[in-house]
Amino acid sequence: MRIVKILMAALALLTTFNTRASDKKVVIVTGSASGIGKATCERLLKEGYIVYGGDIELEKNQYLDKTGGHSLILDVTKDDQVKAAVDRVIKEQGKIDILFNNAGFGVMGTNEETTMEDAQKVMDVNFYGYVRMIKAVLPQMRAQKSGRIINTTSMGGKIYFPLAGIYHASKHALEGWLDVLRLEVKEFGIKVVIIEPGFINTNFYNVSGDYGKKYGANTAYGHIFEPIAKAPLPKMSEPDVIAKVVAKAITKRNPKTRYVKGKSAKMLIWMRNTLGDKMYDRIVMSQLK
């Protein structure tokens, strides 16, 4: 009799443990190896979420497996990798509560000089990459009648600077697509959130700058390129500033449709919305003299 009681107690404990584990929210984060993605994964792991982080930088992404998370091989430009990543999460956890779309890529160059190859690469990561991920998780979220799709766009989806035309195009396109998505999935209990970061201290500017070196300096657009290339980097916020916003967007019962956060974001978006095209153009170009 005593053995039976012990077994029943053990079974009850195991059932309680499994129930608590299943109550944990399951999150997929793209672009998780560095910057905002990494900061978000680290914060959510500390807060008790089940975190799957996907990235193309496999070695850098291994920190997840060492800290209680799960690393995914994930290039958001490849349909097969997106499907495999989402299928794995559903197989292992039975649900997907949150998708945080964050993978991003930029090219610095004038519209005329940026090659079609580079332009397509930016759009494939920044726009179609988000579309791929969302289309992959939507059937599961609709079936469970709940979900949150949180997306890093950029203040660049509302404003513009020279030498970043294709980057701005990708972010403007993404903002419009996500606005429509928010309307379409509302009845399924799925919430869509946009986060528009300002200047954030990540590797993004180094990568964009590398592309800038191959465009602009020795062409007809040198008068635009050189002042920008020589200018010091602006003051930046740390990635965890955005990670905190992601955590807030997850836990709020009714999150905002948009969060603007990070150095200069609110000011620059206000300028663009308030001053009109010509005045905004004058202010931007005055900084290049």
Enclosing H/E stretch for 191: strand 190-197
What does the alpha-carbon distance between residue 108 and residue 205 come to, in Å, rounded to a whole number? 9
pLDDT given for residue 229 in this prediction: 78
Note whether residue 118 is domain-resident: yes
Note whether residue 192 is domain-resident: yes
Note whether residue 61 is domain-resident: yes
Note whether residue 14 is domain-resident: no
Tell me how long the chain is.
Answer: 289
Beta bridge partners of 242: none
In terms of Cβ atoms closer than 10 Å to its own Cβ (0-12, 13-18, 19+), residue 129 is: buried
Residue 25 DSSP label:
P
Which residues fall within 8 angstroms of residue 172, CB to CB, at 6 or more apart? 157, 158
pLDDT given for residue 243 in this prediction: 97
The reported pTM is 0.88
Supply the CATH number for residue 90's domain: 3.40.50.720
| Angle at CA of residue 227, ends 198 and 105, nearest 5° | 40
Q: Which of 51, 13, 7 shows the shortest CA–CA distance to 32? A: 51
Note whether residue 7 is domain-resident: no
Question: Which residues carry out catalysis?
Answer: 167
Q: Which domain covers residue 36, as residue numbers?
A: 25-286
pLDDT given for residue 218 in this prediction: 66
Note whether residue 8 is domain-resident: no
Instruction: Please give the tally of structural domains in the chain.
Output: 1
Quote the tokens at residue 199: 């200047």
pLDDT given for residue 271 in this prediction: 94
Which residues fall within 8 angstroms of residue 118, CB to CB, at 6 or more apart? 107, 109, 166, 211
pLDDT given for residue 12 in this prediction: 47
What does the alpha-carbon distance between residue 150 and residue 172 come to, in Å, rounded to a whole number? 16
pLDDT given for residue 221 in this prediction: 87
Mean pLDDT by 10 residues, the chain (289 residues): 50 44 88 97 98 98 98 98 99 99 92 95 98 99 99 95 95 98 99 96 63 64 83 86 98 97 93 95 91
Note whether residue 62 is domain-resident: yes
| pLDDT, tens digit, 9 for 90 and up, residues 201-244 | 887 665 545 545 566 666 788 888 888 878 777 888 999 999 99
Note whether residue 1 is domain-resident: no
pLDDT given for residue 4 in this prediction: 44
Q: Which of 101, 212, 220, 126 shows the shortest CA–CA distance to 161? A: 212
A 10 A CB-CB count for 230 gives: 7
pLDDT given for residue 205 in this prediction: 60
Q: Are 43 and 212 in contact (CB under 8 A)?
A: no
